[in-house]
A and B are shown apart, each in its own frame.
Chain A
């Protein structure tokens, strides 16, 4: 017999088609009001110093998606899925549990293995054996995306953070991984945020990752105010205050 579906080509077929023009609400008023949000299916690199508030903007982006009825996948390399879920409970209250049980919110936990916790599998929580086992990450993501696609959900993804991957893998490995992953995410129209701690890496590394994304969101704190700057292929917002 011949393969019913014929390899990866089907997955990638749509990747070169024109990106959708649908704009999605980000939960960050400065972006939503100025440029109408992010374009669906874009991959955005989120840069900023530690404690600059980039995580809180990212979590709002996910919470907004959940409130709008979308599917959201949170990949965490520095916190366990349970710790991350506590953060979402603070934002969404008991709805966070509801979203998790419905399978609209899912986690890929790359941290539990690093601190020696047992890799207990739970519904909608995937645990990856190590931050070097990137194939396992892909397989977990594929399963979650399939199950969300079955429910006809539009999907958002948060990856926190690329810096950890770079800590455990040679740069070449990470760039190969991101290249393949971004192709998949674009093909499936998943709007994605990838965090990177700019100061922790060489300029050339940051530039390479930046070149693979569709947009860059910078976040910093000054005098107790949070500032953002957003540049994408089609829009640009210079440093402004973000609530």
Chain B
């Protein structure tokens, strides 16, 4: 019987249309400066936690080091290993000329048939509905050459016959294009991981290139690995802007798990910085300064922004033109935008729809009535923004139906 298990990563599961299916194969392909293994660990944990077995073939590090590494990401799998729900096919220790303690040990890892034999034995013993991780395909290619690509058909059959899922880890060293193309053709799903390296931001993004054997329009989602926690969707910069005294700092603090502000009295004189975590998402928040004399900083801050929250004081319509001006100054007009019509608890506060009308905001810009001091509608507001940032992600169009 076919089943689908979630990876546990927000958006990734949506893009995979519910997760990874038994009887299918997935290639996680990563650029040389990005890791694929933590994602594989995460999927392994999910599989075990749901009560299904995992077979982990390693040819580049010892099984005990993998266990230790998994623990660092927050997944202690000792119990599963003791119960033989998690088994390793150790095709690494043999390289060192040491005897492996694993039941499925490859004595001579330089022999593809021996590697293949140990894997088959493990699959037969462990049985159906298992997740089979191959870490890594690139190392196999280095050791055995292109013949590995031919093995793909056999391994695919194993996945189908055993109602299992094959998960290949592949690092894109400069292999021949033809080899890469053949690998891509022979799998059902492709998840690709690449680094984002702009300015001083350190994060990665993932793209789903293929689902269920069909190519899809690639959409890129920024992420970061967190210890513990694993893969989290990560937005390097959300800009929180708005006129003087609209409540930006309060919004940054209300959203943040940790925040820093440089203030004089009640006015922010440098910038607010905060970090937001919610339902598998993480974002760094940058609050700007409302006073006009700081506009040059605003121009600087606009770059690399992925989404904007514009905070306005609903009791002060005279500040609305300044609010729109600030969007232009930060050069973020046209990016995903949510307007917080703040201070809804004060007398004379205009309702959100009236704020929209006076600011002449387009219909697709959400205007949310908020009370930042009481954290009212703040989370809901940023959820609206996230929806806009990741618009179209879960309904990825199929290119070749």
Contact = CB atoms under 8 A, between A and B. Distances in A.
B143 to A, nearest CB: 6
Given A2-B220, A139-B34, A146 B200 contact: yes
B198 A146 contact: no
Nearest to B197: A11
Interface residues of A, number: 38
B61 to A, nearest CB: 4
Interface in A151-200: 168-170, 172-173, 176-177, 179-180, 184
B62 A5 contact: no
Contact of A1 (B36, B66, B96, B390): B390
B222 A184 contact: no
A109 to B, nearest CB: 13
A118 B92 contact: no
A27 interface: no
Interface stretch (B25-33, B151-159, B244-252, B309-317): B25-33
| Chain B interface size, under 10 / 10 to 19 / 20 to 34 / 35 or more | 35 or more
A180 B174 contact: yes
Contacts of B174: 176, 179-180
Given A1-B390, A5-B197, A132 B306 contact: no
A134 B196 CA distance: 20
Interface string B60-76: 11100110110010000
A170 B280 CA distance: 40
B142 A136 contact: no
A81 B198 CA distance: 30
A133 B61 contact: yes
Interface in B180-207: 194-198, 200-202, 205
A79 interface: no
A119 B35 contact: no
A15 B60 CA distance: 30
B304 interface: yes
Nearest to B169: A135
B389 interface: yes
B194 A135 contact: no
B338 to A, nearest CB: 15
A146 B198 CA distance: 10
A3 B205 contact: yes
B142 A173 contact: yes
Given A10-B197, A113-B61, A132 B35 contact: no
A8 B61 contact: no
A188 to B, nearest CB: 10
Interface string B241-268: 0000000000000000000000000000
A130 interface: yes
A66 B237 CA distance: 33
B198 A4 contact: yes
Nearest to B219: A1
Contact of A4 (B66, B171, B200, B222): B222
Nearest to A174: B142
Contacts of A119: 65, 68-69
Nearest to A129: B61
**SS class of chain A's interface: helix, strand, loop or mixed?**
helix
B198 A129 contact: no
B282 interface: no
A241 interface: no
Contacts of B72: 121
B294 interface: no
Contacts of B220: 1-3
Nearest to A142: B33
Interface in A1-33: 1-5, 7-8, 10-11
B390 A150 contact: no
A172 B68 CA distance: 29
Contacts of A180: 32, 173-174
A102 interface: no
B201 A130 contact: no
Nearest to A2: B220
Interface string A20-57: 00000000000000000000000000000000000000
Contact of B62 (A130, A134, A170, A173): A130
B352 interface: no
Contacts of B194: 3, 7-8
B236 to A, nearest CB: 7
B33 to A, nearest CB: 5
B284 to A, nearest CB: 13
14 contacts: A1-B220, A1-B221, A1-B391, A3-B196, A7-B195, A8-B195, A119-B65, A133-B61, A135-B37, A139-B33, A142-B195, A150-B200, A168-B96, A173-B173
Given A8-B194, A10-B198, A135-B171, 6 more contacts: A4-B198, A5-B196, A8-B197, A113-B61, A129-B65, A130-B62
The 7 closest A-B pairs by CB, nearest first: A5-B198, A129-B61, A3-B220, A176-B173, A132-B60, A5-B196, A130-B61
